[in-house]
Each structure stands twice: as C-alpha cells, then as structure tokens.
Amino acid sequence: MLAGIGLMPHGNPVLEPPDEETKKLAEVLKDIGKAFANVDSYVLISPHNVRMSDHLGVVMAENLVSWLGFEGKELPGEWKTDRELAEKIYRAEKSAGIPVVDLNFASLRGEYSRWPLSWGELIPLHFLEKKPLVLMTPSRGVDRETLVKSGEILGKVLEESEKKIALIISADHGHGHSEDGPYGKVKESEEYDRLIMELINENRLEELPGVPEELVRKALVDSYWQMLMMLGAMKVRNFELKESAYACPTYFGMAGALWVRKS
C-alpha cells in the first residue's frame, strides 16, 4: 500500500541549516524520515538523475551508488533497488501507453548492475532510513496530462502492493531568488514558490495542472513535473497534510511536506 508521500528538497542548505526557516524545514524532513521508518520500500522521483527529452525512466540497476554531490558536498553510500517493484511499475506504465523506458548499466543483474546517484537523490535519502527503493525520473518533454496519468498508474501499483511503500518527490522550486545566483533574480520565482505553498497548505493541489506554462518556465523550477506525477498518485487514496515548511536561504526555494493516509 501507499503509506504516504514526502515532498523533499535537494539543496545543500538543509544539511547544515544557516537560518531558522531552513532549520524548520530540516525538522520537517526529519519527521518525514520518522513517519516512513516502518515502510518496506521507497519510490523516489528525482529531476537530477538521467535526463531524457520525452520519456520517463524507471531504474532497474540493482545497486544505486553515490556519485555526484553538489558544490563539493559528498554523501557517500549505496542503496539497493527493489527490482520486483520496479518491474511492476515499468510494466504497468508501459502497458498503459506511457512513454517510459527501463534503465540499467553494465550488467543485467548482480554486482555489476550499478547506477549513479546525484544530489537530487542523495539529499532526500540522507533524511530517510536505508531501505530498498525504486528510482524514477520525470521528463519536461512529456505533457502534463500524461505525467498526471503516469502518477495515477504508479499510485495504483503502490496501493495494490503487499508492501508498505512511501513515495518521495525530490524537488526544489524557483531558482531566481537572488541577484548573486547563477540565474539572477526574477520575480516569477517568488510568485511560483508562493503559489506552490498555497496549493500545498490549502489542499488545492488539484490546481497544479493549471499553473501557467510561462510562469513555470520563467520561474526556473525543477519541481513541477514530478509534482504532477505526485498529484496523480494521490488520487488512489485520501491523504492528509501533516506538516510543511519553506525556506530560501540562497538563490533557490526549498519546500518540505508530509502527507499520510487518512484513517
């Protein structure tokens, strides 16, 4: 069953919070880890792993290995793929006509079946107990309706599983919050982040598909596409928001949120 959903940022500041807002955000991430301490597996959707222009990806490699940190921050470790769950997800998505590919490297199975992890996965995993997982990647070239449908299929597979599974959405938001940042300062980043937090906190996530494309593009985000998949997955069950937080200590916005099943 789908035990719950965690929206988790992947920015280095949550590892060593520089201010009170970021400390609060880090506490929410720790609470997500505690809430999912008893699950069997995770499904982690990340925007910073393999990049494909018009397909989604399901990683089948058995061994997931720390490889690429951000700005020199290393988070070593190795995780196992839940291959049984990964294959079920892939088959279900493929059968439904979703543009999805299965991904592996070097060897079909065993020691040499290995796949690299980036900061997009390593920072959320830092707050979670080590468990098997399925790594999925979204694509900005897949239309919104298909991303939501993909999430619905994913949610159904997870809900029907005998395992307890947590869905983790790795996402940072607007990247134009500071003149000193690599993208400069753009007003759309603040506008997008404010809207996203309103949709989360006011239980209005069904409005996500209607966010204007121009706002998504100009806000310089890497959260929108995997959040559409999250929205689809949420349709399989009623989920309750337990807590959320937002912080923007540098040039990009970060948010954390925990949803659990309604009893």
Least confident segment among 22-36, 66-80, 206-220: 66-80
Percent over 90 (pLDDT), the chain: 97
Which residues are CB-neighbours of 213 under 8 A, at least 6 positions away? none
pLDDT, position 94: 98
Residue 34 has pLDDT above 90, yes or no: yes
Q: Is the dihedral of CA 43, 47, 52, 56 positive or negative?
A: positive
- Amino acid at residue number 171: A
Q: pLDDT tens for residues 175-202?
A: 999 999 999 999 999 999 999 999 999 9
pLDDT, position 2: 98
Task: Indicate the pLDDT class of residue 79, thresholds 50, 70 and 90.
Answer: very high
- The overall pTM is greater than 0.85: yes
Give me the half-sphere count of Cα atoms (radius 13 Å) on the Cβ side of residue 190.
8
Domains in the chain: ranges and CATH: 2-261 (3.40.830.10)
Q: What is the 3-state secondary structure (H, E, C) of the chain?
A: CEEEEEEECCCHHHCCCCCHHHHHHHHHHHHHHHHCCCCCEEEEECCCCCCCCCCEEEECCCEEEEEECECCECCCCEEEECHHHHHHHHHHHHHCCCCEEEECEEECCCCCEEEEEEHHHHHHHHCCCCCCEEEEECCCCCCHHHHHHHHHHHHHHHHHCCCCEEEEEECECCCCECCCCCCCECHHHHHHHHHHHHHHHCCCHHHHHHCCHHHHHHCCCCCHHHHHHHHHHHCCCCEEEEEEEEECCCCCCEEEEEEEECC
Measure the CA–CA gap between 182 and 244, rounded to whole angstroms. 27
Average predicted confidence (pLDDT) for the chain:
97
Percent over 70 (pLDDT), the chain: 100
Residue recorded with tokens 């990683």: 59
Residue 31 has pLDDT above 90, yes or no: yes
Over residues 135-154, mean pLDDT: 97
Q: pLDDT tens for residues 106-143?
A: 999 999 999 999 999 999 999 999 999 999 999 999 99
| Cα R_g (the chain), whole angstroms | 17
Over residues 71-77, mean pLDDT: 92
pLDDT, position 263: 78
Measure the CA–CA gap between 248 and 56, rounded to whole angstroms. 29
Over residues 229-234, mean pLDDT: 98
Q: pLDDT tens for residues 210-225?
A: 999 999 999 999 999 9
